[in-house]
């Protein structure tokens, strides 16, 4: 190929990284920029389900079948990111169940009937007598996003995290790149203007143009062609810290032949930078983390009047959700207890909220996760920008494929997509168990923490330790292990960086924790506070340097015939000794000057 | 069982109340219910009386002279300086040689496990050589297997925070102990392995890292009961001053303080009881007649509520309200919500608690006593943020002292 277009992808969620990977596999030059860390957006606050499609087979059969296909593909190419928990779907209190089972059958979604004894084994409450087993699974969205990114890098893509798009470059009308601003502050990532802040109660008023944008499943024009050669440049893995790390506040203009906007809930802000209006609809869903694995399957109870609630095992805990606003937490937990009685014993560890974002032209409901490609040349007369919105983690690879097909078409490139055929690299951390355990709740050792720190770029990023090792996600949410983990940054980083990282880590865990505090969890949280404030003596608002002048120092005593004794009282000593402490001529205590004379 | 004074709760305030009741009336029968257990696991073993004025950014050198500047509602202001001094004198009498600082009214500053500085007015002998205001340089030595204390990191911070020269070094964990508690046990028993006693093996491990600094700081794992002998061995063999840096939880200096208080209480005729939770309270005409755990029932002339705050189950509930579960005393909340937005913020739940009259009797909203023979002390009281102010030890000690006095007066 004589000419290789340079594609700039905005957004390091599961979708953006998959688009970058797909571009790289097809031999395009690609740069991805992410304002925070990978999977810091919606991708990192999902429920964690690999959908079989059963949950919305009646409402959105097309999406359901797409889920089933992609579910199978991901199991093939990314088995290490998936736990094959299987799923169980239970009937709603009143609702029709037979129609649902029939719908599954019609769409070839395996749904085998479960009897009461199976339900007993799963831990389902008495009184629920039916259910089906479906091929739902649990997916680790952090591992999957990392795997996409690493694969993209292996094929020559460049991935920049801590790089926030602040301008889109234009030549008047066409989009020709973007300007990014770097923020490499430790422990965290740049605090984005959180999209969740401005989500109205329901959704935004859909403002659809005359022409309908293209829903993806309507498009089916895969061109078959010779596969692209994988790039030969072997870039660093995410994690290899480069020496030319940009400073915080530094800006860079990245020129590109084409820009793909995969900024999720922030996509309208990106489009807005070029004066383009991109109408989105959003709704929030809340997840609650309960302690312990209450069940080993992803258990979904259908709902009479809304989106079903699922309880799924995730790294030793159980994640329950999504709880749509404005449902109260207690109400949702009661619903879960009615299905899984063991939930009444579990502690609520924390909650987090995700924002569903779809183009306003698709239904605002989360059913089916419709995905939309918006070619801004077609709708806004602005060449060079494609926005990709929606989908799900389960179907993200397919959505990325459609997007990259579109990009290739713009340049007359007819290479077929390889992302479904090539396995994703396993980036999980394997380490021996030498050294002490730092996070007891998750049995994460020092070696694993160090590997995760080494694997993050370009600055210490403790969020990476959490997502790669699971540390700080247990009962204490970092309260008892955060300082140990942050200390591992030392001595590569100074104590200020350690402090700042710890502060960020604890503060972000606290945000999810403080909402749910009651009873034993309240006591544990206050105990953790006391541990930091009193035992460790931490307080970020106190003075850096302590004036120790007027404090009591009589506690120090020199043992008879000690080294200090010899030094201080020895014949060579010129310092007078008062109360066992050598004094200078000014009467002030002397320390190391006295040593080694 | 029947006593003159029944103290419910085994934190510093509970022991203080029991010891104070016996001090006021040595013939009294006093029983302490250790409830809930292990209140000392997160204690540093240091007695913090007032380390910072509320909201202050610099440590306080003379806590008692700062009492003038505290709000009127502060327990120290309400009890008066004399009571605070008497309570300290009782502590000095109990702690004897094991603690340092007896009689002083000036705080000393000690390094914490992360290299911050913590003020205290009384402190165990095992930590006393660590005063950071005293001049000689120090070397912190950490053990790789104890991740709470990164000595090199702590030393860098401390070196910057204080005028001292501080160095740090990490070494392989001596005695292959897998926790501070395990190391303490091996050292207490001076267990022989490969023909060498544990204390000698520790000395050998430390020998190469002792440098020019005349004192070394070690993780607080130097025995639970034989600490003095162990530190002395190290000091003598290596010819350095030795001090401990508190780790936790469980914090060994905290545990040692508890043993000290418990042993003294028993030696002075008090009874210690590890019965479970109190589930029933019997009252008549404004008095508590009897309390019971379901298995055991106790009848006393006076009761002292010393169960601690929300951190130890003395107050329970959330996420909106707190209650006091034993006697169901009214609880006041200083603000909306129980916790602050910041993890290290000023959490209302820490300041929440039971309001009392001037005699430390819990009161209802119309200021009348919940029961004429019920007193309260320590963290269960409504009051300042004693955690942020580094005043938990002193407030516990002084309110316990006063509650114990009052309770014994009635008998
Ligand atoms: C199945 C599953 C189970 C999980 N279980 C747990 C668990 O047990 N415990 C747990 O702690 N987490 C858990 N998580 C992680 C959780 O989803 C989120 O990743 C986490 O809550 C994000 O929290 P945060 O404090 O980092 O961000 P939040 O404070 O919750 O903010 C939400 C989003 O806003 C952005 N943001 C907010 N503040 C900043 C900032 N200062 N800098 C940069 N970006 C910011 C980020 O994009 C972030 O993802 C789980 C995730 C999954 C998928
Ligand atoms: C509550 C909830 C539960 C869900 N549960 C599931 C589930 O169980 N299973 C499933 O398959 N799907 C689930 N989904 C759907 C799934 O989460 C999303 O479809 C998917 O994560 C979207 O990924 P994304 O990459 O498009 O967006 P994001 O992950 O949000 O990525 C966008 C990225 O763009 C970055 N960005 C924004 N602005 C800028 C800028 N100016 N410069 C640079 N970068 C920028 C952001 O930081 C962010 O990382 C759930 C969704 C929600 C809301």
Quick check: A533 and B344 CB within 8 A? yes
In this structure, are B158 and B270 located in the same domain?
no
Residue A245's pLDDT is what? 66
Residue A258's pLDDT is what? 98
Fold classification of A49-139+293-345 (topology level): D-Amino Acid Oxidase; Chain A, domain 2 (3.30.9)
In this structure, are B57 and B134 located in the same domain?
no
Contacts (Cβ under 8 Å, ≥6 apart) of B388: A533, A539, B52, B54, B346, B350
Percent of chain A at pLDDT above 70? Answer: 80
In this structure, are B208 and B174 located in the same domain?
yes
Distance (Å) from the alpha carbon of A588 to chain B's nearest alpha carbon: 9
Percent of chain A at pLDDT above 90? Answer: 51
Q: Phi first, then psi: what are they for A313, rounded to 5°?
A: -70, 140
Residue-wise burial string across A549-587, b where 16 or more C-beta atoms lie within 10 A, e elsewhere? eebbbbbbbbbeebbbbebbbeeeeebeeeebbbbeeee
Residue B298's pLDDT is what? 95
Alpha-carbon dihedral angle through residues A394, A398, A403, A407, given to the nearest 10 degrees: 140
Percent of chain B at pLDDT above 90? Answer: 88
Cβ(B9)–Cβ(B35) below 8 Å: yes
Element (H, E) at A98: helix A98-106
Average pLDDT over chain A, rounded to an integer:
82
From A290, A312, A352, mutation site for ligand 1 pocket: most ligand atoms within 8 A of C-beta: A352
Cβ(B40)–Cβ(B251) below 8 Å: yes
Using the Cβ of A434 and the Cβ atoms of chain B, whether some distance falls under 8 Å is answered with: no
In this structure, are B82 and B127 located in the same domain?
no
What CATH number is given to the structural domain containing B225?
3.40.50.1860
Joined together, the tokens standing for residue B140 give 């912190």
Domain assignment present for residue B203? The answer is yes
Element (H, E) at A509: helix A495-513
Domain assignment present for residue B195? The answer is yes
pLDDT category, A56, cuts 50, 70, 90?
Answer: confident
More confident residue, A594 or B117: B117
Query: Which of A494, A501, A515, A426 has the alpha carbon at shortest distance from A466?
Result: A501
| DSSP character string of B189-206 | HT-EETTEEHHHHHHHHH
Cβ(A408)–Cβ(A26) below 8 Å: yes
Q: Which CATH superfamily is domain A6-43+142-281+359-410 in?
A: FAD/NAD(P)-binding domain (3.50.50.60)
Residue A363's pLDDT is what? 60
Mean pLDDT calculated for residue range A383-401: 96
Query: Which of B27, B23, B9 has the alpha carbon at shortest distance from B93?
Result: B23
In this structure, are B68 and B136 located in the same domain?
no
Residue B76's pLDDT is what? 97
Cβ(A199)–Cβ(A282) below 8 Å: yes
**SS3 state of residue A11:** coil
In this structure, are B400 and B259 located in the same domain?
yes
In this structure, are B77 and B28 located in the same domain?
yes
Distance (Å) from the alpha carbon of B354 to chain A's nearest alpha carbon: 17
In this structure, are B373 and B261 located in the same domain?
yes
Domain assignment present for residue B309? The answer is no
Which residue among B245, B261, B278 closes a domain? Answer: B245
CA-to-CA distance for A369 and B214, rounded, in angstroms? 68
CA-to-CA distance for B373 and B350, rounded, in angstroms? 26
Cβ(B352)–Cβ(B338) below 8 Å: yes
Residue in chain B closest to A584 (alpha carbons) equals B135
CA-to-CA distance for B30 and A334, rounded, in angstroms? 46
Q: A-chain residues within 8 Å CB-CB of B342?
A: 507, 510
Q: B-chain residues within 8 Å CB-CB of A523?
A: 310-313, 316
Mean pLDDT calculated for residue range A387-399: 95
Mean pLDDT calculated for residue range B124-148: 93
Tokens 């006076």 locate to B302
Domain assignment present for residue B266? The answer is yes
Domain(s) labelled CATH 3.50.50.60 in chain A stretch across 6-43+142-281+359-410
In this structure, are B239 and B258 located in the same domain?
no
Is the pLDDT confidence value at A222 over 80? no
In this structure, are B221 and B262 located in the same domain?
no
Domain assignment present for residue B179? The answer is yes
From A264, A314, A395, mutation site for ligand 2 pocket: most ligand atoms within 8 A of C-beta: A264
Is the pLDDT confidence value at A234 over 50? no
More confident residue, A463 or A218: A463
Domain assignment present for residue B153? The answer is yes
Which ligand 2 atom is nearest residue A163's CA?
A: 43
Cβ(A437)–Cβ(A444) below 8 Å: yes
Q: Phi first, then psi: what are they for B348, rounded to 5°?
A: -55, -35
Q: Which of A143-152, A352-361, B128-137 has the highest average model confidence (pLDDT)?
A: A143-152
What CATH number is given to the structural domain containing B77?
3.50.50.60
Q: Where are the beta strands (DSSP E) in A325-363?
A: 348-359
Between the alpha carbon of residue A280 and those of residues A207, A275, A389, A436, the distances in Å are 8, 15, 9, 48
HEC profile of A121-162: HHCCCCCCCCCEEECCEEECHHHHHHHHHHHHHHCCCEEEEC
Ligand nearest to the CA of A365: 2
Tally of domains in chain B: 2
Q: B-chain residues within 8 Å CB-CB of A497?
A: none
Domain assignment present for residue B151? The answer is yes
Residue A320's pLDDT is what? 93
Quick check: B101 and A517 CB within 8 A? no
More confident residue, A228 or B250: B250
**Alpha-helical segments (H) within A367-426:** 376-380, 396-410
Residue A217's pLDDT is what? 58
Residue B127's pLDDT is what? 96
| DSSP character string of A184-237 | --TTS------GGGG--SS-PPP---SSPPEEGGG---PPP-PPPPPP---PPP
Q: How far is the CA of A49 from the centre of ligand 2 (A)?
A: 14
Cβ(B206)–Cβ(B216) below 8 Å: yes
> What is the CB neighbour count within 10 angstroms for residue B72?
6
| Nearest CB neighbour to B164, from listed A495, A568, A591 | A591
Chain A 452-511, residues with CB within 8 Å of chain B CB atoms: 483-484, 487, 490-491, 494-495, 498, 506-507, 509-510
Mean pLDDT calculated for residue range A541-565: 77
Residue B128's pLDDT is what? 95
Residue A185's pLDDT is what? 63
Residue A220's pLDDT is what? 44
Cβ(A18)–Cβ(A419) below 8 Å: yes
Alpha-carbon dihedral angle through residues A537, A542, A546, A550, given to the nearest 10 degrees: -90
Mean pLDDT calculated for residue range B262-289: 93
Element (H, E) at A322: strand A317-324
Mean pLDDT calculated for residue range A141-165: 95
Chain B 176-195, residues with CB within 8 Å of chain A CB atoms: 178
Between the alpha carbon of residue B142 and those of residues A145, A211, A436, B95, B207, the distances in Å are 38, 69, 13, 28, 14
Residue in chain B closest to A523 (alpha carbons) equals B311
Which residue among B221, B245, B269 closes a domain? Answer: B245
Which residue among B193, B213, B245 closes a domain? Answer: B245
**Alpha-helical segments (H) within B96-215:** 125-128, 151-161, 180-189, 198-206
pLDDT category, A186, cuts 50, 70, 90?
Answer: low
Domain(s) labelled CATH 3.30.9.10 in chain A stretch across 49-139+293-345
Long-range CB contacts for residues A211-216, cutoff 8 Å, separation at least 24: A211/A378, A211/A379, A212/A361, A213/A359, A213/A361, A213/A372, A213/A373, A213/A374, A213/A379, A214/A372, A214/A373, A215/A361, A215/A362, A215/A370, A215/A371, A215/A372, A216/A370, A216/A371, A216/A372, A216/A373, A216/A391, A216/A398, A216/A399, A216/A402
CA-to-CA distance for A437 and A206, rounded, in angstroms? 51
**Domain membership of residue B278 as a residue range:** 2-101+253-286+346-410
Is the pLDDT confidence value at B35 over 80? no
Name every protein residue with a CB atom under 6 angstroms from any ligand 1 atom. A 36, 40-41, 44-46, 48, 141, 188-192, 194, 289, 314, 317, 319, 349-350, 352, 463, 473, 477, 508-509, 511-512
Between the alpha carbon of residue B230 and those of residues B186, B199, B212, the distances in Å are 11, 7, 22
Domain assignment present for residue B78? The answer is yes
Residue-wise burial string across B199-230, b where 16 or more C-beta atoms lie within 10 A, e elsewhere? bebbbebbeebbeebbbbbbbbbbbbebbeeb
Q: A240-266: per-residue pLDDT in tens?
A: 334 456 777 899 999 999 999 999 999
In this structure, are B150 and B197 located in the same domain?
yes
What sign for the dihedral angle of Cα A561, A567, A570, A576? negative
Cβ(A333)–Cβ(A287) below 8 Å: no
């Amino acid at each position: 190929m004589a000419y290789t277009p340079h594609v700039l992808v905005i957004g390091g969620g599961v979708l953006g990284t998959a688009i970058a990977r797909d571009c790289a596999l097809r031999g395009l030059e690609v740069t991805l920029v992410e304002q925070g860390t990978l999977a810091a957006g919606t991708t990192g606050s999902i429920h964690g389900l690999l959908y079989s499609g059963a949950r919305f087979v009646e409402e959105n059969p097309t999406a359901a079948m797409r889920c089933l296909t992609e579910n199978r593909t991901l199991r093939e190419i990314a088995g290490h990111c998936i736990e094959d928990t299987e799923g169980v779907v239970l009937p709603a209190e009143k609702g029709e169940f037979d129609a649902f089972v029939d719908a599954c059958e019609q769409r070839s979604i395996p749904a085998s009937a479960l009897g009461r004894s199976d339900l007993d084994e799963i831990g389902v409450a008495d009184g629920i007598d039916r259910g089906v087993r479906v091929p739902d699974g649990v997916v680790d969205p952090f591992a999957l996003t990392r795997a996409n990114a690493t694969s993209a890098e292996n094929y020559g893509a460049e991935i920049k995290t801590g790089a926030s798009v602040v301008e889109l470059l234009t030549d008047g009308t066409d989009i020709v790149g973007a300007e990014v601003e770097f923020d490499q502050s430790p422990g965290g990532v740049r605090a984005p203007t959180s999209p969740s802040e401005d989500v109205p109660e329901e959704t935004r008023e859909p403002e659809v143009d005359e022409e309908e944008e293209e829903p993806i499943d309507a498009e089916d024009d895969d061109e078959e062609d010779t596969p692209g050669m994988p790039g030969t440049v072997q870039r660093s893995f995410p994690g290899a810290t480069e020496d030319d790390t940009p400073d915080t506040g530094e800006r860079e203009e990245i020129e590109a032949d084409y820009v793909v906007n995969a900024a999720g809930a922030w996509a309208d802000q990106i489009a807005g930078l070029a004066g383009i209006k991109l109408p989105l609809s959003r709704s929030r869903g809340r997840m609650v983390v309960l302690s312990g694995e209450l069940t080993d399957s992803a258990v979904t109870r259908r709902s009479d009047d809304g989106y079903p609630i699922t309880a799924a095992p995730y790294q030793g805990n159980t994640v329950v959700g999504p709880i749509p606003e404005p449902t109260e937490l207690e109400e949702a937990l009661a619903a879960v207890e009615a299905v899984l009685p063991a939930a009444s014993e579990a502690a609520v560890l924390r909650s987090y909220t995700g924002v569903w974002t779809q183009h306003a032209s698709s239904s605002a409901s989360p059913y089916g996760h419709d995905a939309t490609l918006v070619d801004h040349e077609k709708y806004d007369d602005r060449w060079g920008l494609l926005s990709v919105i929606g989908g799900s983690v389960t179907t993200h690879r397919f959505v990325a494929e459609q997007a990259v097909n579109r990009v290739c078409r713009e340049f007359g490139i007819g290479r077929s997509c390889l992302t479904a055929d090539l396995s994703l690299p396993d980036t999980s951390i394997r380490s021996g168990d030498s050294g002490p355990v730092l996070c007891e709740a998750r049995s994460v050792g020092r070696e694993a923490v160090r590997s995760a720190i080494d694997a993050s770029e370009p600055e210490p990023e403790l969020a990476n330790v959490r997502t790669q090792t699971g540390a700080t996600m247990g009962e204490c949410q970092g309260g008892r292990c955060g300082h140990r983990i942050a200390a591992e940054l030392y001595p590569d980083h100074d104590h200020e960086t350690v402090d700042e990282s710890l502060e960020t880590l604890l503060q972000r865990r606290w945000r999810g924790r403080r909402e749910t505090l009651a009873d034993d969890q309240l006591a544990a949280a206050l105990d953790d506070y006391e541990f930091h404030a009193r035992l460790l003596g931490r307080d970020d608002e106190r003075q850096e340097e302590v004036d120790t002048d007027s404090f009591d120092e009589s506690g120090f005593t020199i043992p008879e015939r000690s080294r200090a004794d010899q030094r201080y009282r020895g014949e060579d000593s010129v310092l007078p000794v008062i109360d066992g402490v050598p004094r200078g001529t000014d009467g002030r205590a002397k320390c190391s000057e006295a040593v080694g004379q | 069982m029947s006593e003159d004074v029944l103290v419910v709760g085994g934190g510093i305030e509970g022991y203080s109340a029991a010891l104070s009741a016996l001090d006021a009336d040595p013939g009294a029968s006093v029983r302490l219910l250790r409830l809930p257990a292990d209140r000392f696991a997160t204690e540093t073993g240091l007695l913090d009386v007032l380390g910072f004025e509320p909201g202050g950014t610099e440590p306080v050198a003379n806590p008692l002279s700062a009492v003038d500047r505290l709000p009127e509602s502060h327990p120290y202001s309400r009890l008066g300086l004399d009571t605070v001094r008497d309570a300290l004198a009782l502590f000095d009498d109990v702690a004897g040689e094991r603690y340092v600082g007896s009689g002083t009214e000036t705080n000393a500053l000690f390094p914490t496990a992360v290299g911050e500085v913590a003020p205290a007015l009384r402190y165990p002998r095992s930590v006393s050589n660590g005063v950071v205001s005293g001049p000689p340089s120090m070397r912190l030595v950490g053990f790789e297997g104890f991740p709470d204390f990164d000595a090199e990191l702590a030393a860098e911070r401390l070196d910057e925070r204080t005028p001292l020269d501080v160095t740090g070094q990490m070494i392989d964990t001596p005695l292959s102990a897998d926790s501070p508690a395990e190391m303490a046990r091996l050292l207490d028993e001076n267990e022989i392995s490969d023909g060498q006693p544990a204390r000698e093996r520790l000395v050998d491990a430390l020998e190469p890292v002792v440098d020019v600094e005349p004192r070394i700081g070690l993780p607080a794992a130097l025995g639970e009961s034989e600490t003095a002998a162990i530190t002395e061995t190290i000091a003598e063999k290596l010819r350095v001053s030795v001090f401990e840096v508190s780790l936790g939880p469980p914090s060994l200096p905290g545990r040692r303080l508890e043993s000290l208080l418990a042993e003294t209480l028993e030696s002075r005729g008090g009874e210690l009881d590890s019965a479970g939770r109190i589930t029933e309270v019997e009252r008549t005409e404004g008095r508590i007649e009897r309390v019971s755990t379901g298995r055991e029932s106790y009848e006393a002339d006076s009761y002292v509520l010393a169960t601690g705050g929300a951190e130890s189950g003395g107050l329970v509930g959330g996420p909106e309200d707190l209650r006091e579960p034993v006697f169901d005393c009214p609880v006041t909340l200083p603000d909306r919500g129980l916790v602050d937005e910041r993890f290290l913020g000023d959490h209302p739940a820490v300041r929440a608690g039971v309001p009392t009259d001037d005699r430390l009797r819990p009161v209802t909203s119309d200021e009348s006593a919940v029961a004429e023979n019920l007193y309260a002390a320590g963290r269960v009281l409504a009051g300042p943020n004693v955690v942020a102010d580094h005043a938990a030890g002193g407030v516990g000690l002084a309110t316990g002292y006063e509650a114990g006095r009052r309770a014994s007066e009635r008998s």
